[in-house]
């Protein structure tokens, strides 16, 4: 069964737009996470960025205390954030690149160029019982390096696929890259997640990608929640993820 991890970062983005630098405010990402769980989400994803633009330290600690499903802690491979992760002890960390000028995480990690430092962080996480995923493009060299790092998972960056969805030729090419990447990862012993830019329209072709364990989706669900409510938005996405869904298979 394909699992859904809901990224709640943009709930915090909305809160910080009005309540930045305060210790209160709405909407509450913790309350949102609990609604997502109630709706059937299999896990909660949150990214504590170095610049603290949305999720704050207190959010991560409260999530760890509050949710009953899997906490996926997205993070940069920086000393400060690594230390926080080791103390919070999420179920899994997903190491991602960060750029201060980006609106949200764009592009995948360069594992090839940073293999030594990523392997060191992977070992530290695993030693405390935390699984590790690397957020990477479906590039053969990066997937091979991810396996060398000893990480348990990769998360395939689906951004290029999502951006090309309206162009048949480009869409087919990007989907084939994801399929090939997932197959390669599986042969190398890596478990495969996917995320970035997935929404209620482009999700239907993702079932062509083999060996997927979990999809991490945030912006589309939070956007949909504005009109139908968060519980309904999560349930609608879960329905699309059912292998018997006519929409998912068309």
Q: What is residue 249's predicted lDDT score, i.e. its pLDDT?
A: 43
Q: What is residue 98's predicted lDDT score, i.e. its pLDDT?
A: 85
3-state secondary structure of 67: coil
Q: What is residue 246's predicted lDDT score, i.e. its pLDDT?
A: 43
Q: Taking Cα atoms as reference points, which of 160, 161, 195, 233 lies closest to residue 11? A: 233
DSSP 96-125: ----TT-SS--S---TTTTHHHHHHHHHHH
Instruction: At 249, list the tokens.
Output: 């298979």
Query: What's the burial of 199, exposed, middle or buried (CB within 10 Å: 0-12/13-18/19+)?
Result: middle
pLDDT digits (tens, 9 = 90+) for 136-146: 999 999 999 99
Q: What is residue 56's predicted lDDT score, i.e. its pLDDT?
A: 97
For residues 212-239, average pLDDT = 98
CATH 3.20.20.70 fits 73-242, yes or no: yes
Q: Taking Cα atoms as reference points, which of 145, 105, 110 lies closest to residue 7? A: 105
Q: Taking Cα atoms as reference points, which of 110, 80, 115, 88 lies closest to residue 97? A: 110
Tell me how far apart the alpha carbons of residues 5 and 37 are, in angstroms, rounded to a whole number: 10
3-state secondary structure of 26: coil
The band of 247, judged by pLDDT with boundaries at 50, 70 and 90, is very low
Q: What is residue 2's predicted lDDT score, i.e. its pLDDT?
A: 96
Q: If you average pLDDT over every residue of the chain, what do you get? A: 94
Q: What is residue 100's predicted lDDT score, i.e. its pLDDT?
A: 54
Has residue 6 got a pLDDT over 70? yes
Catalytically active residues are 47, 74, 196
Has residue 105 got a pLDDT over 60? no
For residues 63-72, average pLDDT = 98
Q: What residue segments make up the domains of the chain, in order of their start?
A: 73-242
Listed in sequence order, the DSSP H helices in 132-229 are 140-149, 159-163, 168-187, 219-228
Helix (H) or strand (E) holding 81: helix 79-88
pLDDT digits (tens, 9 = 90+) for 155-202: 999 999 999 999 999 999 999 999 999 999 999 999 999 999 999 999
Task: Give the percent of the chain with pLDDT over 90.
Answer: 91
């Amino acid at each position: 069964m394909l699992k859904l991890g809901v990224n709640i970062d943009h709930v915090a983005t909305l809160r910080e737009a009005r309540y930045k630098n305060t210790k209160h405010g709405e909407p509450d990402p913790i309350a949102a996470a609990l609604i997502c769980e109630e709706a059937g989400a299999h896990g909660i994803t949150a990214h504590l960025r170095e610049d603290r633009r949305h999720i704050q330290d207190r959010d991560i600690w409260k999530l760890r205390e509050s949710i009953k499903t899997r906490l996926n802690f997205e993070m940069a491979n920086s000393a400060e954030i690594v230390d926080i992760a080791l103390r919070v002890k999420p179920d899994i960390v997903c190491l991602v690149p960060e750029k201060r000028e980006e609106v949200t995480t764009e592009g995948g990690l360069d594992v090839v160029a940073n293999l030594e430092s990523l392997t060191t962080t992977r070992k530290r996480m695993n030693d405390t019982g935390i699984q590790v995923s690397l957020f990477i493009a479906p590039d053969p060299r990066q997937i091979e390096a991810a396996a060398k790092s000893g990480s348990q998972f990769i998360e395939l960056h689906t951004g290029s696929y999502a951006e090309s969805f309206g162009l048949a030729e480009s869409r087919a090419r990007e989907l084939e890259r994801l399929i090939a990447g997932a197959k390669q990862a599986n042969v190398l012993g890596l478990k495969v997640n996917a995320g970035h830019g997935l929404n209620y329209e482009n999700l239907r072709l993702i079932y062509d990608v083999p060996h997927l364990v979990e999809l991490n989706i945030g912006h589309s669900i939070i956007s949909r929640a504005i009109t139908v409510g968060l519980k309904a938005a999560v349930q609608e996405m879960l329905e699309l993820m059912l292998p018997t869904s006519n929409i998912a298979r068309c």
